[in-house]
């Protein structure tokens, strides 16, 4: 069932319940008021009848005259005076046998009331000398009863008309409120892979529809970026893989033709080995990029002291770059060691930081590299600072793109996959990377990771 129909149906049901409750209240109080007024008129006649018929008073004739002259006679009005018999008090017979509750109410000294359809009874106990009497007056109330019947019809007709009206209003209201949602659905249906640049029209305001449209636009921004990154990645990867394969193919042909010249053959074989190593490195990096794009749920996570991990990274970088000088600064360590503990995939995070430290050593021509670790509130900060060639300002915004290399790195061997890989791994760990560089002076890359305590409380 469509949302508009559900809203309309729910609105109609709630309206019907509210209207029925309101009608019930109106009927109850109108019924009570109409009967109460007529009963009081009967009770007044009970007292007058008792005064005229039971009490010996010189004014009785005047009472009777005033009663006949000024007090209207009710339809089917009748008065009954019954001598009370204490031994037979279980029932009273006027024009009908009145119920026991009526008799019990009279015997207790109260004014009793009783009604059958439109015929009303009122009675009261009187003690005159040594005798006990019960005076009962009965009459019909055609006008009040007819008014209640008319009110009942009006309430029933009004109920059904109100339900129909509420259904129509609910239908119009739900369609009006859901129109922005239908527009969003139509706009989203028009967006496909080939026109991801299209965006939804976001109305001014902070209502849920505006938030939904803005959320869709943010999702489309991420999708468009992902598609562009994927296209660029495929294009660059195919180019980077084709280059060493082309060189290997050419060198193999050269080696085959130079079977009489061992020196040329050896040179070609060495070139083939270098390009094969390069191809292996590129494939390994591509595999790392792919793995770092996982959601992390199926990968092993553990608690790792980041300051201890830095010493392992220093040792692994020394194995690749024996001439590197890495200075680990522990001067800002917090007293609480938990503030330096992060829940990470140790192999991946080690690879990410190793890439950054290794680049710092390589592009600084093995000048000292400073690594500072500290806790900044909810995060662990690892800042890697070198004194190398720096990055041109025009290239800084592109260094995290796969296979991109800065314009001043031609003299250095590399493939442009280390930093993108590191960024993917850091994002996988809910962290971020900040970079500050000046050409000819050096570069500082800061890695920010959430420590374990903050990660657990926030999740």
Q: Are residues 374 and 267 in the same domain?
A: no
Per residue in 132-159, is it b (16+ CB within 10 Å) or e — as a string? bbbbbbbbbbeebbeebeebeeebeeee
Percent of the chain with pLDDT over 70: 85
C-beta separation of 434 from 446 below 8 A:
yes
For residue 8, how many C-alpha atoms fall within 13 Å in the half-sphere facing its CB? Answer: 18
Q: Are residues 358 and 238 in the same domain?
A: no
Residue 88 covered by a domain: yes
Residue 338 covered by a domain: yes
Q: Are residues 107 and 252 in the same domain?
A: no
Q: Which domain holds residue 50?
A: 3-149
**Does the pLDDT of residue 150 top 50, yes or no?**
yes
Higher pLDDT, 45 or 383: 383
Query: Where is the domain boundary, 149, 168, 184?
Result: 149
For the chain, the straight-line distance linking the first and the last C-alpha, in angstroms and rounded, comes to: 36
Quick: pLDDT tens for 409-454: 888 877 777 788 788 888 888 899 999 999 999 999 999 999 876 5
**Does the pLDDT of residue 456 top 70, yes or no?**
no
Q: Are residues 324 and 364 in the same domain?
A: yes
Whole-angstrom CA distances from 419 to 275, 279, 457 are 22, 18, 30
**Does the pLDDT of residue 390 top 70, yes or no?**
yes
Q: Are residues 286 and 313 in the same domain?
A: no
For residue 60, how many C-alpha atoms fall within 13 Å in the half-sphere facing its CB? Answer: 11
Q: Are residues 230 and 329 in the same domain?
A: no
**Does the pLDDT of residue 355 top 80, yes or no?**
yes
Quick: pLDDT tens for 327-346: 999 998 888 888 889 988 88
pLDDT the model gives residue 69: 66
Q: Are residues 7 and 33 in the same domain?
A: yes
Tokens of 293: 């794009």
Average pLDDT, the chain: 81
Q: How confident is the model at residue 391 (pLDDT cuts 50, 70, 90)?
A: very high
Q: How confident is the model at residue 457 (pLDDT cuts 50, 70, 90)?
A: very low
Residue 156 covered by a domain: no
Q: Are residues 259 and 352 in the same domain?
A: no
Number of structural domains found in the chain: 3
Q: Are residues 285 and 313 in the same domain?
A: no
pLDDT the model gives residue 276: 79
**Does the pLDDT of residue 65 top 80, yes or no?**
no
Higher pLDDT, 242 or 440: 440
Higher pLDDT, 98 or 324: 324
Q: Are residues 56 and 116 in the same domain?
A: yes
pLDDT the model gives residue 239: 55
Phi, psi of 97 (to 5 degrees): -80, 115
Quick: pLDDT tens for 213-237: 888 888 887 777 667 666 655 655 6
Q: Are residues 268 and 380 in the same domain?
A: no
Crossing angle of the two packed helices 418-428 and 262-292, in degrees rounded to 10: 20
Query: Where is the domain boundary, 292, 310, 345?
Result: 292
**CATH number of the domain where residue 413 is located:** 3.30.565.10
Q: Are residues 242 and 329 in the same domain?
A: no
pLDDT the model gives residue 243: 63
pLDDT the model gives residue 152: 84
Phi, psi of 125 (to 5 degrees): -90, 135
Quick: pLDDT tens for 269-286: 887 887 777 677 667 666
Q: How confident is the model at residue 458 (pLDDT cuts 50, 70, 90)?
A: very low
Query: Where is the domain boundary, 265, 292, 319?
Result: 292
Q: Which of 388, 385, 423 is nearest to 408 (CA)?
A: 388
């Amino acid at each position: 069932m469509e949302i508009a129909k559900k809203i309309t149906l729910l609105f109609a049901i709630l309206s019907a319940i509210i209207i029925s409750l309101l009608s019930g209240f109106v009927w109850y109080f109108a019924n009570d008021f109409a009967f109460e007024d007529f009963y009081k008129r009967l009770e007044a006649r009970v007292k007058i009848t008792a005064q005229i018929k039971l009490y010996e008073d010189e004014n009785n004739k005047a009472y009777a005259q005033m009663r006949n002259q000024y007090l209207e006679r009710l339809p089917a009005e009748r008065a009954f005076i019954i001598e009370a018999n204490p031994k037979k008090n279980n029932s009273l017979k006027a024009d009908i046998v009145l119920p026991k509750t009526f008799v019990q109410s009279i015997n207790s000294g109260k004014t009793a009331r009783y009604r059958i359809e439109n015929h009303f009874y009122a009675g009261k106990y009187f003690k005159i000398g040594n005798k006990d009497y019960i005076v009962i007056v009965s009459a019909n109330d055609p006008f009040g009863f007819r008014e209640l019947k008319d009110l009942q019809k009006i309430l029933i007709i009004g109920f059904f008309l109100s339900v129909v009206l509420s259904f129509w209003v609910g239908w119009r209201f739900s369609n009006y409120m859901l129109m922005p949602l239908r527009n969003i659905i139509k706009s989203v249906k028009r967006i496909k892979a080939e026109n991801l640049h299209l965006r939804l029209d976001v109305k001014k305001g902070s209502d849920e529809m505006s938030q939904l449209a803005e959320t869709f636009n943010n999702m489309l921004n991420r999708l468009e970026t992902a598609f562009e990154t994927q296209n660029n990645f495929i294009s660059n990867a195919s180019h980077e893989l084709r280059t060493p394969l082309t060189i290997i193919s050419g060198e193999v042909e050269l080696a085959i033709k130079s079977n009489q010249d061992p020196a040329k053959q050896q040179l070609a074989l060495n070139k083939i080995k270098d390009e094969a190593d390069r191809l292996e490195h590129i494939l390994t990096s591509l595999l790392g990029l792919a793995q770092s794009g996982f959601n992390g749920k199926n990968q092993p996570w553990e608690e790792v002291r980041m300051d201890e991990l830095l010493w392992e990274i220093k040792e692994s970088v020394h194995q690749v770059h024996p001439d590197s000088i890495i200075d680990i600064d522990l001067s800002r360590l917090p007293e609480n060691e938990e503030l330096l503990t992060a829940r990470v995939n140790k192999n991946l995070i080690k690879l990410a930081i190793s890439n950054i430290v290794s680049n710092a050593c390589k592009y600084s021509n093995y000048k000292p590299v400073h690594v500072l670790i500290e806790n900044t509130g909810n995060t662990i900060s690892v800042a890697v600072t070198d004194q190398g060639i720096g990055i041109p300002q025009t290239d800084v915004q592109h260094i995290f793109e796969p296979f991109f290399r800065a314009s001043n790195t031609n003299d250095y061997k590399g493939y442009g996959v280390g930093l993108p890989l590191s960024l993917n791994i850091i994002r996988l760990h809910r962290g971020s990377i900040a970079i500050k560089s000046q050409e000819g002076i050096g570069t500082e890359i800061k890695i920010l990771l959430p420590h374990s305590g903050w990660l657990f409380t926030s999740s």
